[in-house]
Amino acid sequence: MDRIEWLRIIHVTSAVLMVGNVTVTGLWAGYLFRRHSLVPIRIVAGAIMWADLWFTLLGGTGLLVSGILLTSAHGYHAMELPWLMRGIVILAVTLLLWLFWLLPAQRRMQRAIMGDESQLRRLFLRWSVVSWISTAALFWALWGMVARR
């Protein structure tokens, strides 16, 4: 296999890791939150942070690095291709949301006062809304990259 084929494998695998993780994490978090009387939300929030650090961060890094290398190898200029520019912007926006909104929200859920249902519900709802918006945006970017639209 040549360098381009390896970069494509890394790029697709990274996209699957990142988009798959955020999707599955959202589903599991919703399921477990509804049962938080049986499963402490602190454990759920900690598991989300662990999965994010390993799969989302690893996938996002692989996606970004392989994408930049593939772009330069093919002679693309992001500013000239709307689908490429949109994908880059969406990835950057979701990364910023993750760093400055979702990770701090996960930390607040971990530190939430046990038994304070209203605080926990409010924290989880805000985290969920932003998470699902970010996830939808990543699916849109993924579609745009595959369809080149």
Instruction: Give me the pLDDT at residue 93, please.
Output: 95
Task: Give pTM, 2 decimals.
Answer: 0.88
Higher pLDDT, 113 or 105: 105
User: What mean pLDDT is reported for the chain?
Assistant: 89
Angle at 95 between CA 90 and CA 98, to 5 degrees: 125
Please compute the mean of the pLDDT values over residues 20-30 and round it to a whole number: 93
Instruction: Give me the pLDDT at residue 53, please.
Output: 85
Higher pLDDT, 38 or 144: 144
Query: Which class for 118: exposed (0-12), middle (13-18), buried (19 or more C-beta within 10 A)?
Result: exposed
107-133 pLDDT per residue, tens: 888 888 777 778 888 888 999 999 999
Instruction: Give me the pLDDT at residue 46, please.
Output: 85
Higher pLDDT, 146 or 113: 146
Whole-angstrom distance, CA of residue 3 vs CA of residue 10: 11
* Residue 32 CA: distances (Å) to CA of 7, 112, 124: 36, 16, 11
**Confidence band of 38 (pLDDT split at 50, 70, 90):** confident
Please compute the mean of the pLDDT values over residues 62-75 and round it to a whole number: 92
